[in-house]
Chains A and B, each alone.
Chain A
Amino acid sequence: MSDVHAAAASYAVDALSSAERAEFEAHLDGCASCHVEVHEFAETLAELAPLVASAPPVGLRNSVLTAVADLRQADLQQADRQQADQQRAARLAERAGRAGAQGSDDVPPRRALASVTELRPLEPHEVAPLEEHPSVVPEMPWLGVTAALSEDLGRRSRWRERVLGALVAASLILAVALGGWVYVSRQQIQTLTADAQRQTGLLTAWDARVYYVEVNVDRSTSPVSFVVSTARNEALFVGRDLPPLPANSIYQLWTVDGTASTSAGVVNGSGEVRQMLTGSLREVDKLVISIEPGPMESKTPTGPQFPVSIS
């Protein structure tokens, strides 16, 4: 076998100098066996990727998605759906251009949000659990670096679940305008649920809008938001540290059409709450969070109501 054929493996692992590579590529064009071999080596190396696989920091996902929203593809296939998809990409790019142009002192009562472009990457301290864990940075023991690989598989597996959870949390995006502030939730979600996927879909919907209102109970105040996509016919309630209620009382969500209110579910949980509203948004002109006597959900709103008008 001549020298130039023998370079296929070095070429596949990118170990050739630029001059050597140019020489091999000139040969590669006309050599079917080298062509096959290079592809097979590429497949082989892809199979080896798990040896060094390492979950990236959760914030990277948003950075990557935001960056490509601003890109046009180098070339597009002639597909029937091409035009619609191009329009979609253009909308994303447009929103990318608008990102950062928001001021915090002039917050309109409602505004479009929920494009990935309005998210900020997570700061390092927000992803601390990832960076603290030794297995996130590959140890590369074969390069003589400290080998702390004695962790048992069970521990790895649990960690993997946590990493997955962090990725899911990032995918939920959870950038919600609360009183004009965009915040990113760090809540760890353990499994990628259908609900989480719905929330992600809603938050990234092209027509998603955020409406917010302040919930006041006694002297305690908490801003809450509704993220609404008319196109998807879905809404998400987002609250954080809602004011405490008397025993048995509950927060309940409503969709309102004129004077008719339909329950959209009872708010569950404390701390950060994100909850899809049940029911349709067709003909709905208001979303309401109310305080109800509980413990069962009310048929119609009876207590204090905090409404937002949607359009």
Chain B
Amino acid sequence: MTGGPAEHARRTADLVDLVQRMARGDADAFADLYDETSASVYGIALSVVRSPRLAETLTQEVYADAWRTAARYDPGEVTVLAWLISTAHRHIVERVRTMSRESAPDRFSGLNGNHRFDRANPAGGSRADAEQARRAWCLLSPTHREAVTLAYFGGYSQTEVARMLGQPLGTVRASIRDGMVALRAATGVGL
């Protein structure tokens, strides 16, 4: 895996092909999609729910949903990875918000320490992709990184984030927005 824009584009096109074959009932394409993307989906589930067992369950639900809805994927709108990861995150967050401290204890236990927002975990994917993500991440100001981390990787609502950080809701919302705008620029999306 060398990474680079050409490799990135080829991989993006390959994923579209897989989803279109899935839409026609091709189980092999589905298996390939799983192999290509499961580390990302599982990783996000794990970062939000913080329990491997629960993350597995959610990942399975996400892929079952992807199989059912493959025909609705529109390559003209977003890439497969964005489609899959945004639906996955939505699903994971919706599930976890209905859970109690009893049913998802790990989710709450991780937040008691002092928050450090200075490092990202470059595991999985190609090294080039990981390196790019890490670079983009490191460009964020600590305030923005904190808000985006809690909201996205932690799965907390902006209201919860505001409470956790002791900041007004409007401030947190602006941090999330400014953080996302900065990340969009740093990752080269929309250019």
Binding site for B on A (CB under 8 A): 6-10, 12-17, 36, 39-57, 60-61, 63-65, 67-69, 71-77, 79, 81-82, 85-86, 88-89, 92, 116, 131, 135, 137-145, 147, 149, 153, 156-157, 160, 167, 171, 204
Contact (Cβ within 8 A) A69 B27: yes
Which of A9, A67, A157 is close to B60, meaning CB atoms less than 8 Å apart? A67
User: Does B110 belong to the interface (CB within 8 Å)?
Assistant: yes
Q: What are 14 A-B interface contacts by the 8 Å CB criterion?
A: A14-B93, A44-B184, A48-B152, A49-B43, A52-B47, A56-B39, A61-B31, A64-B60, A74-B71, A88-B27, A140-B47, A142-B149, A147-B116, A160-B123
Q: Nearest CB to that of A145 among chain B residues? A: B110
Given A42-B78, A47-B133, A86-B25, the answer on whether A141 and B71 have CB atoms closer than 8 Å is no
Most chain B CB within 10 A, of A46, A60, A139, is at: A46
Given A49-B44, A76-B71, A82-B24, the answer on whether A54 and B181 have CB atoms closer than 8 Å is no
Given A67-B64, A142-B145, the answer on whether A53 and B24 have CB atoms closer than 8 Å is no
Contact (Cβ within 8 A) B27 A47: no
Contacts of A204 in B (CB 8 A): 27-28
Q: Nearest CB to that of A86 among chain B residues? A: B25
B89 to chain A, nearest CB (A): 6
Contacts of B23 in A (CB 8 A): 73, 76-77, 79
Which of A10, A47, A63, A116 is close to B136, meaning CB atoms less than 8 Å apart? A47
Q: Mark B94-136, 1 if CB is under 8 A from A, else 0.
A: 1000000000000000111111111111111111011011101
Contact (Cβ within 8 A) A65 B85: no
Q: Nearest CB to that of B119 among chain A residues? A: A141
Query: Given known contacts A10-B158, A51-B137, A131-B52, what 14 new A-B pairs fall within 8 Å (CB)?
Result: A6-B173, A6-B177, A46-B86, A48-B136, A52-B43, A56-B55, A71-B64, A76-B25, A85-B26, A89-B27, A142-B119, A142-B120, A144-B111, A144-B116
Q: Nearest CB to that of A76 among chain B residues? A: B71
Contact (Cβ within 8 A) B43 A63: no
Contact (Cβ within 8 A) A71 B68: yes
User: Does B157 belong to the interface (CB within 8 Å)?
Assistant: yes
Contact (Cβ within 8 A) A149 B43: no
What secondary structure prevails in chain A residues at the interface with B?
A: helix
Q: How far is the CA of A157 from the CA of B117 in the complex (A)?
A: 24
Contact (Cβ within 8 A) B60 A60: yes
Q: How far is the CA of A291 from the CA of B110 in the complex (A)?
A: 60
Contact (Cβ within 8 A) B38 A60: yes
A18 to chain B, nearest CB (A): 9
Which of A36, A56, A135, A149 is close to B59, meaning CB atoms less than 8 Å apart? A56
What secondary structure prevails in chain B residues at the interface with A?
A: helix
User: Does B161 belong to the interface (CB within 8 Å)?
Assistant: yes
Contact (Cβ within 8 A) B124 A55: yes
B123 to chain A, nearest CB (A): 6
Q: How far is the CA of A45 from the CA of B79 in the complex (A)?
A: 12
User: Does B18 belong to the interface (CB within 8 Å)?
Assistant: no
- Across the A-B interface, give the 6 residue pairs with the lowest CB-CB distance, nearest first: A53-B124, A144-B113, A85-B25, A50-B125, A56-B42, A49-B40
B105 to chain A, nearest CB (A): 15
Contact (Cβ within 8 A) A6 B174: yes
Q: How far is the CA of A224 from the CA of B180 in the complex (A)?
A: 58
Q: Nearest CB to that of B113 among chain A residues? A: A144
Contacts of A88 in B (CB 8 A): 25, 27
Contact (Cβ within 8 A) B158 A40: no
Q: Nearest CB to that of B83 among chain A residues? A: A42
Contact (Cβ within 8 A) B24 A54: no
User: Does B190 belong to the interface (CB within 8 Å)?
Assistant: yes
Q: Nearest CB to that of A72 among chain B residues? A: B68
A291 to chain B, nearest CB (A): 38
Contacts of A52 in B (CB 8 A): 43-44, 46-47, 121, 123, 153
Q: How far is the CA of A41 from the CA of B82 in the complex (A)?
A: 9
Q: How far is the CA of A174 from the CA of B123 in the complex (A)?
A: 28
Contact (Cβ within 8 A) A50 B133: yes
Contact (Cβ within 8 A) A79 B24: yes
Which of A44, A50, A72 is close to B40, meaning CB atoms less than 8 Å apart? A50
Contact (Cβ within 8 A) B116 A73: no
Q: How far is the CA of A137 from the CA of B125 in the complex (A)?
A: 15
